[in-house]
Structure 1
């Protein structure tokens, strides 16, 4: 989280939250790094018709999210299994990983 209490990034990865069939990621103005994989994922989502939104993200959305994944240049796209008692699906991140592996 950043100094204002909003999602920013994990220790070494950008974070993406799928909610209502849209992918949300913190805007760069929230203090996250403009990672290489962040840009790749955003481009792949847009080119495949998946709505991509850069926004200020309240951490409470993690309790309602359908899916959460993180990215970085060394690990690629990594699905987050859960947060607390909440468990997430692995659909969009799996699809994006498959598309990334085809490049």
Structure 2
């Protein structure tokens, strides 16, 4: 349980649940770029020590980095970006990974 949880009765926030899920499946790296819709998740990321966040300069770079990570390690690449333009900036990288059957 995150010691910094602000909720009564030790309930996890949605952001804390996302981070806990990533921890539970053994994610080692999350490539991403913060934005409005995911700021709560980024706050929860700050308080965990199970995996490392790799800050990139652009959302497309996050997907290509995760693709490269998956190709070189055989593990799933994980990306976190915001909604709207942040999500649409990932399309080329997602299409590349999909066409090459990269997880």
Query: Rg larger in 1 or in 2?
Result: 2
TM-score normalised by structure 1 residue count: 0.33
Flag the structure with higher helix content: 2
TM-score under structure 2 length normalisation: 0.33
